[in-house]
Amino acid sequence: MNLNRIKIAAIALCVTLPLIMPLFQLTHAQQPRYGGTFVRTEGYKITSLNSLMVPSPGSNARACRAIYDNLVTMNVNFEVLPSLAEEWDISDDGTVYTFKLVKNASWHDGQPFTAKDVKFTYDMIFELDDYYARTLISLVEEVKMIDDYTIEMVLSSPDATFLTNLADLYSNSQIILPEHLWNGTDYETNPHNESPIGTGPFKFSEWVRGSFLTLEANENYWRGKPYLDTYVIREFTDVSTIVAALAAGEVDHDFSAEASVVPPTESTRLANQNDDLELFLWPGTRIYHIQFNMRVAPFNDTRVRQAIAYALDRDRIVDIVTDGSQEASKHMYIEDHWATNPDVVYPDVDLEEAKRLLDEAGYPEGTDGVRMKLQFIGVQSVTSECELIVQDLTKVGIDAELIVNEWSWYVENIIEGVLQDPYAFTFAMRGGSHGPDPGKFEDYLGTGRTSGNMMNYSNADVDNLFAMGKDTADPEVRKDYYYQIQEIIYDDMPRLNWRMGTEYLLYKTEWHGLWFLNSDLGYQDMSKVWSEKGELPATPWIEVYLPYIIAAVVIVVAIAGIYSYTRYRSKGRN
Amino acid sequence: MHLALYVIKRLLLAVPTFFFIIILIFVMIRVAPGDPAVFLAGSRGEVDLELVEKIRAKYGFDRPIYEQLVIYFGNIFSGDFGDSFIENRPALIVVMERLPATLVLILPTLIVSIVFGIAIGIYVGRGYFSKKGQIILGVSHLLFSTPLIVLGPILMLIFGIYLRIFPTSGMTTMYTGGTTLVYILNVLYHTFLPLLTISLGFYIPQLIQISAATIAEVERQDFVVTYRAIGLDERRLFNRHVFKNSLFPIVTLAGVWISYAVTGAVFTETIFGWPGIGRLMYESILTRDYNVLTLIFILTAINVEVVMIIIDVLYAIIDPRVRY
C-alpha cells in the first residue's frame, strides 16, 4: 500500500471511531452489578422483628420492610404501588376491595404464598383487637378468600385512606405473615418474632441485639433476585457515633427517619466534606408547627395569633439552622402535596403589621417596650430554632421564656397537662406526621382530638369537611374539601406552620437503585440496590463483544470503501 | 477479736444493706418523671394519647409505688427480675446478654492499664522530683482531667476518621460469620480505641499518680535508707521491699475498679457504640426501661458490696488491729 492510502485509512478511522464509541458506553455504563454488602445506620433500638405486633420504635418497621411484603406499598411521592396485590378493584360504593395476588411469590422457607396467608394474617389482626394494626384498618368488617389468589375486603363505609393505610408508611403493621408458621401458635412466644420468615427481598440471617441485623438476599424473590448479597442494619445509640461512622466511610447509608437523628447541619456538612457521600432531601410528612392555646389569653384572640405570623422572620431563621438547605413552610399543609392549597400562603414578615395587630388586640407597649411576658415550649430536636424564635419575638415586644425538655415531659405536662389546667402553656412548638393522606390532618385540627390538637381548636365546618373528605375516594372532590379547610384555618390561624421535618438521606455515591431516587420502587425497597464496585452479571459473549464486532466491521468497510474508491479514482485516470 | 466472727458480722451487715439499696434504687427510678409508655407508643403515641394510657395501664405504671415495690420484691426471690418493657424479654436475659461485651472491653483495659500504669508509675516514682517525672505526671494529669466524652471523640477523630486505621464504633464488623480466630481478632481490633480512651483517660493516670507517690514515699522510709546504707543491691531492695510495700494502695484501687468497671464505662461504650452494659444503662434511662435499669443498678451494688467485703476481710487478715 502506498502512503496515500494509509493516510486515507487513518482519516477514515478517525472519522468512524467517534461514532462507534457511544456503543461501548451503552453496554457498560449503568448496568446493574451484583454483589456487595450494604450497611445502613439505625438510630433506634430494634426490639422485635414482627412489626405487625410491635411496630414501635420505627426501627422495627424499617427492618421488617426488607423481610416482609404488604399487599400494597407506597413510593417516594406517596403514590400507592402494587406489591403482593398486583391489581385491585374497588366497588362503586367504595366498600368492597378485591385484590388479585401475585402467583409467583414464596416464603423464605420455600412454601408458596397464597391468599390463605393473607386471610390468616387479617384474621390474626382482628384477633389482636387492641393492637395498632387493627385500629389502622378499623373500617374493615370482613376479609374473604375468594380463591387461591384473590382476596376480598369489605368495609363498613368508604374510606379514602384505606389503601394508604395498607401501605402503612411509618409503622409497617400490615405485613403478611405465613399461615403455616403462625396459625395455632402463641403469637407472643412464636420464635419467628425473632427469626422471621417473610416473602420479602431479604432473608433473616443473624440478629446481634444492640449491634446489627444481618439479612441476606432472597434468591427466589418474586420480583427478581436482589443485586446485593447482604443488607446489614447497624444499630447506633449516639448521634456523634453515627456522624463518626459516616465520616470514616464505614456505613453506606444514613436514613434516620421521623425526625432525623443526625441534625440537618451535620448531614449537609458531611455531604460537602466527603466526595463519596451524596445527600438527598426528602420532605416527608412531618411538619414542625407552633400551636397556640386558644383557651386562654393572649392567644384566644385571633389578632394576637396573626401577629405572631407577621412577627417571625421564618425564612431567615430556617435558613440559618438548616444551613440553607431548607425553606420555611409557606402553605397550610405539606409542601408540594396534592392536597395543599397553593393559594393559601402565610404572610411575609412585617413587624409593623404585627405591632399594629397587638395594639389593636389590647396589648400596647409598656414603658420598657414589653407588651406581654410568655413562656414558649420548645421541642428538643429544634431547640436552636426555638431560641431564634424567642429572639425574634422581642422585636415586637413579646418577652418569651423558652422551656425545652424531653418528649415524655412534654406529653405529661403540656399535652395532658393542658387538659387539667388550661394555663399549662400559651404556645408551643410541635412536630408530628401529617400524612401521607390529608385525612391525618384531622388529628391536629379536629374537635376533641386532644392528643394532636392542644389548641382546643374547634370549627364545625372543618370537622364536616374532614368527614366528607374521608367518605369519598374521588381525589378531585377530596382536594376541594381540603383546600377549603386550609382557607378556613388561614383565617382562624390556630397554628403556624414552621417547616417540614425533612429527612436528610445520606448515601455513598457508589450505590444505585435506591428507593428514594426511583419512583417505581416502593418505600424502603432495597431489592434493586446495586454498587458500582460489584461484578457484572455473566453476559453472553455476543453481548459483550458486539460493539467491538460492529466497530471492526465498520472500520473494515470504511477502509475497504476508501481503498476501492482511491483505486477506482486512480484506475479512472488511466 | 476472732477473724471468723468478724467475717460473719461483716456478711450479716451486708444483708440489710442490700435491702435498703434495692428499695432505694427501685423507688428512685420510678419516681423520676416520665415512663416507658410514651416511648413504647412510638410515633403513633404522638397523636394518640389513649394508646399511651392503654400501655400505661397494661404494665401498671400508674399503680402506687409501694404496690409495685412489694410485687417486685416478691418476684426477686423467685429469680424473676421482671421483663424489659422495650424488648419484651426477661430483664435478666437482656442484661446477661450484654455482660460478655463489657467484660471483653474492661478486662483487657484493666490489664493493660495496670501493667502500663504501674510500670510508668514506678519509673516516675524513683525519680519523683526529676524533670522527666514531673512532665509525665503533668501529662497524666492533663489526660485525667479531660473528660472521656472529649477524649474519646478526639481519639476517634485521629485514628478512625483521619488516619482510618481503626474502626470508629461497634464491637465487630463480621456481619456474615467466619472463623473463630478471625472473629476474635476482629473484636480485638475494635477494642483498641475504646481501650485506649479508658486507659489513658481514667485508669493509667490514677495508677501513675498513686504508684509514683507510694514508691517515692516508701523509698524515703527509714528501713529503705538503712538497707541502702548497708549495701543491699538496688534491684533486690526494690523487688523485695519497696515494691511489695507499695502495692497495698494499688491493689485496693484496682479492686474497687473491678467492682464498678462493669457500669463505669457508660460514656465510652455509648460513644464507641460498644454493645455492653454501660450502653444498655444509657439506653434504659432514655427509654425508662425500669426493670432493666433496676437490675443493672442492683448488680452494680452487689458487685461493689462484695468487693468491699473482700477488701475489709483482707485488711483484717493483714492488720489485726482492724477487726472490730
pLDDT tens digits for range A281-298 = 998 899 999 999 999 989
Q: Does B255 touch chain A (CB under 8 A)?
A: no
pLDDT of residue A291: 95
Tens digit of each residue's pLDDT (9 = 90 or more) over B151-160: 999 999 999 8
Residue of A nearest to B51 (CA): A132
Q: Does A212 touch chain B (CB under 8 A)?
A: yes
- For residues A462 and A485, give the distance between their C-alpha atoms in angstroms, rounded to a whole number: 6
Task: Please determine, for residue A21, whether its predicted confidence score (pLDDT) is greater than 70.
Answer: no
Task: Please determine, for residue A116, whether its predicted confidence score (pLDDT) is greater than 60.
Answer: yes
Write out chain B residues lying below 8 Å of A415, CB-based.
49
β-pairing, A427-430 vs A287-292, is antiparallel
Contact assessment for residue A332 and residue A490, using Cβ atoms and an 8 Å cutoff: yes
Residue A233: band (very low, low, confident or very high) from pLDDT cuts 50, 70, 90: very high
How many other β-carbons are positioned within 10 Å of the β-carbon of residue B139? 13
Instruction: Pick B46's closest partner by Cβ from A249, A406, A432.
Output: A432
- For residues A266 and A286, give the distance between their C-alpha atoms in angstroms, rounded to a whole number: 19
pLDDT of residue A156: 92
Residues 6+ apart with CB under 8 A from A434: A285, A286, A287, A333, A334, A440, A441, A444
Residue A479: band (very low, low, confident or very high) from pLDDT cuts 50, 70, 90: very high
pLDDT of residue B1: 57
Average pLDDT, chain A: 89
Q: Which has the closest alpha carbon to A5: A535, A546, A568?
A: A568
β-strand partners of A289: A430, A497
Tens digit of each residue's pLDDT (9 = 90 or more) over B285-303: 888 888 899 899 888 888 8
Contact assessment for residue A261 and residue B286, using Cβ atoms and an 8 Å cutoff: no
pLDDT of residue A418: 92
Q: Does B56 touch chain A (CB under 8 A)?
A: no
Tens digit of each residue's pLDDT (9 = 90 or more) over B74-94: 888 887 888 888 888 899 999
A259 to chain B, closest Cα gap in Å:
10
How many other β-carbons are positioned within 10 Å of the β-carbon of residue A372? 16
Between residues A27 and B170, which one has the greater pLDDT?
B170
Peptide bond into A57 cis (omega under 30): yes
Residue B306: band (very low, low, confident or very high) from pLDDT cuts 50, 70, 90: confident
Is the ipTM, as predicted for this complex, more than 0.90? no
DSSP secondary structure letter of residue A102: P
Size of interface A-B (CB pairs under 8 A): 136
Residues 6+ apart with CB under 8 A from A191: none
Asked if the Cβ–Cβ distance from B41 to A37 is below 8 Å, we say: no
pLDDT of residue A554: 82
Write out chain A residues lying below 8 Å of B153, CB-based.
240, 244
Contact assessment for residue A260 and residue A44, using Cβ atoms and an 8 Å cutoff: no
Residue B184: band (very low, low, confident or very high) from pLDDT cuts 50, 70, 90: confident
Residue of B nearest to A409 (CA): B34
Tens digit of each residue's pLDDT (9 = 90 or more) over A347-367: 999 999 999 999 999 999 888
The residue-averaged pLDDT of A305-316 equals 94
Asked if the Cβ–Cβ distance from B283 to A48 is below 8 Å, we say: no
State phi, psi for A74 to the nearest 5 degrees: -140, 145
Task: Please determine, for residue A24, whether its predicted confidence score (pLDDT) is greater than 60.
Answer: no
* Residues 144-183, chain A, touching B (beta carbon < 8 A): 170-171
Task: Please determine, for residue A6, whether its predicted confidence score (pLDDT) is greater than 80.
Answer: no
Average pLDDT, chain B: 83
Q: Does A75 touch chain B (CB under 8 A)?
A: no
Write out chain A residues lying below 8 Å of B275, CB-based.
208-211
Share of chain B above pLDDT 90, in %: 17
* Residues 426-455, chain A, touching B (beta carbon < 8 A): 431-433, 443-444, 449-452
Contact assessment for residue A371 and residue A398, using Cβ atoms and an 8 Å cutoff: yes
Please write down the long-range contacts of B111-115, taking CB distance under 8 Å and 24 or more positions apart: B112/B195, B112/B199, B113/B198, B113/B199, B113/B203, B113/B204, B113/B207, B114/B203, B114/B207, B114/B254
pLDDT of residue A372: 92
The pTM of this model reads 0.83
The residue-averaged pLDDT of A208-218 equals 92
pLDDT of residue B129: 81
The residue-averaged pLDDT of B259-280 equals 84
* Residues 195-224, chain B, touching A (beta carbon < 8 A): none
Residue A256: band (very low, low, confident or very high) from pLDDT cuts 50, 70, 90: low
Tens digit of each residue's pLDDT (9 = 90 or more) over B174-183: 776 677 888 8
The residue-averaged pLDDT of B179-206 equals 89
Asked if the Cβ–Cβ distance from A216 to B33 is below 8 Å, we say: no
Residue A193: band (very low, low, confident or very high) from pLDDT cuts 50, 70, 90: very high
Residue of B nearest to A204 (CA): B176
β-strand partners of A154: A96, A142
DSSP secondary structure letter of residue B160: I
Write out chain A residues lying below 8 Å of B47, CB-based.
432, 443-444, 449, 451-452
pLDDT of residue B94: 92
* Residues 533-572, chain A, touching B (beta carbon < 8 A): none
pLDDT of residue B62: 77
State phi, psi for A406 to the nearest 5 degrees: -80, 170
β-strand partners of A433: A286
Tens digit of each residue's pLDDT (9 = 90 or more) over A160-191: 889 999 999 888 999 999 999 999 999 988 99
Q: Does B282 touch chain A (CB under 8 A)?
A: yes
Q: Does B270 touch chain A (CB under 8 A)?
A: yes
Maximum average pLDDT range among A390-399, A534-543, B281-290 = A390-399
β-pairing, A503-508 vs A253-254, is antiparallel
Interface mutation target, options A136, A208, A213, A381, chain B, most CBs of B under 10 Å: A208
pLDDT of residue A86: 94
Number of H helices, E strands in chain B: 15, 2
Q: Does A34 touch chain B (CB under 8 A)?
A: no
pLDDT of residue A310: 94
How many other β-carbons are positioned within 10 Å of the β-carbon of residue A541? 8
Q: Does A138 touch chain B (CB under 8 A)?
A: no
* Residues 285-324, chain B, touching A (beta carbon < 8 A): 287-288
pLDDT of residue B212: 87
Residue B215 buriedness (CB in 10 A; 0-12 / 13-18 / 19+): buried
Instruction: Pick A57's closest partner by Cβ from B42, B49, B171.
Output: B42
Q: Which residue has the cell 466524652?
A: B149
State phi, psi for A291 to the nearest 5 degrees: -105, 135
